Each structure stands twice: as structure tokens, then as C-alpha cells.
Amino acid sequence: MSNQSGCSDFSVITSPKKLQRVVTGKLLLSIAVTSILSSTAFAAEGDEVAVQGATDQEAVPTATLDTIVVRAARDELEQAAGLSIISEEAIEKASVSNDISEIVRKMPGVNLSGSSTSGQRGNQRQIDLRGMGPNNTLILIDGRPVTSRNSSRPSRGSEQDTRGDSQWVPPGAIESIEVLRGPAAARYGSGSMGGVVNIITKSPTEPEFSISGHYEAPESDLEGSSWRTNINMAGALTDKLSSRTTLGYHDSEADDPSINAAEALDDSVAAGTEGVENIDVRQVFEYAMDAMNTVGFEVNYSRQENRWAGDSLFQTVNETLIDELEGETTSKMQRYGAAITHRGEYDDASSNSFIEYTRTVNERLGEGSAGGGEGQIVIPDDGEDFEWTEATYDTLNAKSEWDIYFDRHTLTAGAEFRGEKLDNPVVSDMTFEDGFEFGDVETDPDKRDPTSDAYLVGAYLEDNYEITPDWYVTPGLRFDYHSEAGSNWSPSINTTWHFSPDWSVKGGVSRAFKAPSLYQLDPNYIYYTGGNGCPSWVPLDERGCHVLGNPDLENETSWNKEITFTYDDGTGLNAGLTYYHNAYDNRIGAGTDRVAVDTATNRSIFQWDNQGEAIVEGLEGFVQVPVTDKVSWSTNITSNIRSERKDNGEPLSLIPKFTVNTGVDWDITPRWNADFDVSYYGTIEAPTISVTTGEDSGDPLLDREPYAIANVSTRYDLTKAITVGAGIKNLFDEGVYREGTATNAGARTFNEPGRTYVFDVSVDF
């Protein structure tokens, strides 16, 4: 990745304390890099999730097969009840438009939600595991953390204008996707309190030259069509050197700005779904040094541009802007990356290691950063052009993990470094009145440092132990030190007991955490509201309100517990039921407790702060039935028993009370396959308290009523090299429309696409 300044980019030395942090960070990074270059490893690292190896099971597009047996070295050691595997075949059958969230949402324990319950960016929903929120779902690509969404600033309501990090790899380049929920995810460190989604790309050693095309035509003229194409080239260049080249392009049109007009509240029309243009280029080389050691080198580039549909932070579509910008690019995100990897396989050990640098350049048309104009594109003066702004987010990640095999157990040890730097002067240009003074805030915008940085160092140890042939226990311990938020211990224990030939019980407990973001930590990240965004209790003569970043934030934490019963009779019939309970503490949000009053203006001052506790608990179940040798049926269900903040009773995420995914897969002939699936989403209850003001809504807001989406598809192999497919998404054209934000529309803050016709073709040369 193109970073001219190298590792020093992560250090802005302004004090002896800062210098000590930087020196410590670089020393630890040097140790990590030395370990990588001298040891071994990599190969879709995180996929091993305390789960060392692959599983034979494959998830169909509408259901999951939770992993029952996981191989660790020579023995089959069992753990990770909440692991679902989505195979390459399942991805192909699902005809994914572009973003893998489309198929991941069909796993148990998974939904899509916004960054907060505000619904302000209602159609920017992301993967949300177990109702803990998208920011507590860690996205990995080949085991390496992806955090480009952190380049997008959070609003006062914690909403971010981002699609998340689940569409940086085109579907045609994916070998499998692992979705890990529950206590076993704690070993992945910061950001995994809800779980982990690991996107595993295809190996360069598998020969391939293929071109695929995908087209979607919506029945409604108000919805945008889309198409994509992927090219994959891979294979051996010499007897030791292999290469894989991936090229991807995707283009979707935006919804018509009036798509939700029929559902509008008080003449306020909410925007539909934006379109997007994606360009993805990835080049991987892998060199087999000998029978035991393999090194790799990867460079990648991705570009995402939106096609504007009138969206802003609030519910009103601005007609003046629509006339100028409908369907145009108003934001673009570019991600550059480079990685060195190493994998080792030895008689009594194996290892995975990597070092990776990424840069995300987040460009967008200038927006208001305060009050009623927050998140709204700024209209230029007559004769002037729209102004672009830019945020740059750099990360440097390194990790080395070893598995050491013994007769009855496998010991896993690892160390990790994550460094991040943000350059975003746009949000720090607020001018204060003379006399303002508070903490580390610079009152003069010209003196504010536009950069902020932090690093995290972690180490962990885990032992997968076979007590008896039917009983396995996996204790673990992880320690992390964050340069700003301090230290964190993450103990865990998971166990599996086969109490009969067909039945087993699994349980786990772990402590997980998430470090504060750079925006939240930066005292020069400043939000201002003229009054309507102030907490409701603030006296009128002490409004507006400043919300400032807080360098004293602590890590968010959670205790995750689960117990699972599974059945597998060896014939393909298997089922499972999981109860989970997450106790969430220190959640970070924009504060509602005033910390000071600006003596210059008599305005109230708030900070981002660590807030109270929350509880999330629910049930996950799945069943797969081999109806015949050609027909299989699978179903999973997720029940959200409770998602509740203890301070005000509000939910953490706007997700359904329960979700059911069921599907039938039919191999009509060896060359012809058909699938039918239905996803049923139960009631989504509306919030009752404003995220931004803390004020009770008074009148009951609107719940999202239950709805179901059915899909049907078929694929046929014309020849050994050519496969064609067709299908219909949302077969019965179930209409789901956005009516506004949570403030006025309750839970009706997002769209689901209507009936859409899908066509696929792939050619293998």
C-alpha cells in the first residue's frame, strides 16, 4: 500500500508520555515482525478461531450448518458452537448482488442494522451479530482485520455514513465465509464482542481462469438495477511459485428519490437506497520455500463510489440538491493494501503470521457538522462548485500464531499488533468564542492537530485439551494493551461433552472488549447543536451544546455466555439449539451528563463517555434434514429475547424479535439445481427515547410489522465450462419502505428491495 511515511505515521510525538508510548509500540511491533519473519504462517488465519482447521459442512444460502466437529491437528477437538460456514457453492447459488451481508444475514444470530438505533442512515445497514451492533462485529479478510469504516465520523447519535467492511472482496473471489458468534470469538481481540465474520479468499495454488457475470433487474421503475462481473486467474507459475489475480466490477443504480413518498410522514420524504460502483483489484503471490514453509505477498486496491439518492442524516430529501446531484457520486472510499504472509507446517507444530498495511481515503462532498445541517451536503454559493473533503485512515497490523500439538491437546499461542492513524481536519474547524476553555480542546482551529493515532498490542494463550475421548475443554487467556484506553484481560473457557453417540452439549464463557475509536478519543472532534440536539433537560438559556471527544475513555467490555445442545446421527440429519447471554458494560456514546458550561457563551459542554450496562440474550436453533439423496431442507431461527440498556430500557440494535430462514435445495439432475428459500422477520419494536436528546417520544412510535421475503433460483451446467442461472428475489414483492428516522418513524427506517429478476453466467476456461 502506498504510504510514503511508513511506520512513523502512527506517531505524533507531543509529550514524554506520548514518546514513551511510541517507543513501546515500535519495540513491540519489532518483536511481532521478527516473529513473523522467523516463524511461520498465514493462510486465512482467523478462520481457525480456536478452531484449527476446516470443516466438511457447507451452509446453504438460506440456512446454516453450525460446525459440530472441528479438526485440530491430528485429533478432532470440538469447540465453537456458534460457528457457521458458508461455502463457495452456497455463495454461487445465492446469487449475491455484491455485498456478502446479503447471505451472511441468513445465518443464525445474524441481522442487519444501522450503527445506532437512530435510523438516521436507515439504508446503510451492516452485519450485526447477536444484536450487539455492527461496530461489535469484527470483519476479517483471510484472518486480517478490516476497519476502513472507522474513517467515517460518528454523529451525536453514533450513526456513521458507511456500508461497513463486508464488500471489499467480490463474491467470485471468495472460497468460504466463516461466521463465529459467542465466547470463542473473544480470542480475536478488540471489536469481536458480537462475533467475527472471516472472508476467506481463494487460494493461488488452485488453477482457475474464469469470467462471471451477474445482472439484477427490479420490477419497480423506482428501484435501481445492478450488474457485476468478476475475473479470476490463478495457478502455478513455477513448481514453487503460484499466483492469483482477481478483478471485480459492480455498478448499481440508486433508488428514485421519491420511492418512499407514498409512506412519507408529514410531507417529509425519506431517501431510498443509494447505488454504488465498486472496483476491486487483488494480486497474490505464494512461494513454497520447502515442504514446510510457504510465504506470500499480496497487494490490493478497492474503490467504492456512491450513487446519491437524496440521503442525509435526517429524514428530509432536499429538492434543491436532488436537482443537482441525483444519481451522482457524492462520496468515494478508496482502500489500498499490502501484506506479507507466512505459513508453516511442521511435525509437531504449525503457524500463521502476517504483517499488513492499509490506507483508506474517504472523500465526500462537504457536509454540515453541526445542528440541523449536520450530515447534509453543503449547497455552494452561486457560481461555485461543490467542495470535497478528505479523511485518511492508515492501519498497520501484524500477527503471529502458533499451534503446538501434543498427544491429547493442542496449545495455541499468539501475539498481535494493531496501529491506526486518522487525518481528518474537517471535523475540527469549529470556532469558539473568546474565553472558552475546557480540557485539551484547542480553541483556535488553526492550532488543532488534525491527526490522531493509537496502537494496541495483544498476546493470547489457549489450550484445547481432550480430557476423555468424549470430553474436551478449551481454557484461554488474552491480554491487550491499548495506548489510550489501557489494559484489558480476556479470559475464556469452552467445553464440549458427547454424552451419547448422537448428542453433545457445549458451553462457553468469555470476556471480550472493544477499544474506543480515534474519533471518540480525539478532544478536537467537536459536535455542536444550536439547541434541538441538546439533552432535553438542558435549560433553554444554556443551549446550544458542544459534544467533545474524550481522551480518557475506557474499553467497552462484555461477558459472553452460551450453552448448546446438538444432535448428529451421521446420516446428514443434524440439529442444535443455543442459548446465549451477553452482559455489556462501558458502552461508549455521546454523553447526556453535562461536564461543564462554557463561561464565554453559557453553552453546555458534553463528552463522549462510558455509559451503563446492557443485557443481550437470545436463542439460536438450526436443523438440517436430508429429505432424499437429492433434496435437503434446512432451517434456522434466531429469537431476540432481550436487548436492553439498563439505564433507559432501550434496545442496543433495531433488530427483529425473531428471524426464521428456511430453504430447500434440490439437485434435479447432476447438472441442474434449484433452490427455494424464505426469510421471515418478526416485529421490530420502535425505540421510545431519542438517541440524541434522551427525550421520551411521548406518543407511541411505529413498530416494523413482520414481513417475509421469498427467493427462488436455478442453475444449469450447459457444459463443463459454462453455467447459467436465473432467479427471482422477493418473489411475492413484499413491500418494505422507509418512513423516516427513529425520531418520527420508529423502527420503519429502512427499505427492502422489491421483486427483482436475476441472471447469472460463468465461464471456466
Q: In this prediction, what percent of the chain has a pLDDT beyond 90? A: 68
| pLDDT value for 698 | 67
- The secondary structure of 674-723 as a DSSP string is EEEEEEEE--BPPPSB-TTT--B--S--PPBPPEEEEEEEEEEESSSSEE
Question: Worst-scoring range by mean pLDDT, 218-227, 453-462, 644-653?
Answer: 644-653
The residues near 698 (Cβ < 8 Å, ≥ 6 apart) are none
State yes or no: pLDDT of 173 exceeds 50. Answer: yes
- Report in angstroms the alpha-carbon separations of 516 from 453, 482, 554: 11, 9, 7
| pLDDT value for 535 | 83
The string of pLDDT tens digits covering residues 558-588 is 999 999 999 999 999 999 999 999 999 999 9
The string of pLDDT tens digits covering residues 414-443 is 999 999 999 988 777 777 777 777 888 888
> Can you identify the CATH homologous superfamily of domain 67-764?
TonB-dependent receptor, beta-barrel domain (2.40.170.20)
The string of pLDDT tens digits covering residues 481-504 is 999 999 999 999 999 999 999 999
| pLDDT value for 414 | 96
What average pLDDT does the segment 457-470 reach? Answer: 95
| pLDDT value for 65 | 38
Locus of grid cell 432536499: 318
| pLDDT value for 690 | 80
d(CA 36, CA 59): 33
Secondary structure of residue 342 in the 3-state scheme? strand
Q: In this prediction, what percent of the chain has a pLDDT beyond 70? A: 89
d(CA 685, CA 749): 12
Residue 80 pLDDT grade (very low, low, confident, very high; cuts 50, 70, 90): low
Domain extents in the chain: 67-764
The residues near 391 (Cβ < 8 Å, ≥ 6 apart) are 151, 152, 153, 361, 362, 363, 422, 423, 424, 426
Question: What's the predicted TM-score (pTM) here?
Answer: 0.89
What average pLDDT does the segment 303-332 reach? Answer: 91
| pLDDT value for 71 | 38
- Report in angstroms the alpha-carbon separations of 35 from 176, 400, 420: 28, 7, 21
| pLDDT value for 301 | 98
- Report in angstroms the alpha-carbon separations of 330 from 255, 275, 388: 15, 11, 9
Q: Would strands 486-497 and 471-482 be described as parallel, antiparallel, or unpaired? A: antiparallel
| pLDDT value for 142 | 96
- Report in angstroms the alpha-carbon separations of 332 from 318, 429, 631: 21, 22, 44
For the record, the C-alpha cell of 582 comes out as 451477553
Task: Order the strands of the 137-141 sheet from edge to edge.
Answer: 83-87, 174-181, 195-201, 137-141, 144-146
Contact 225, 218 (CB under 8 A): yes
What average pLDDT does the segment 185-212 reach? Answer: 95
State yes or no: pLDDT of 32 exceeds 50. Answer: no
Residue 219 pLDDT grade (very low, low, confident, very high; cuts 50, 70, 90): very high
The string of pLDDT tens digits covering residues 44-55 is 333 333 333 333
Q: Provide the sign of the torsion angle of the four alpha carbons 171, 173, 175, 180, taken in this order.
A: negative
d(CA 136, CA 121): 18
Residue 23 pLDDT grade (very low, low, confident, very high; cuts 50, 70, 90): very low
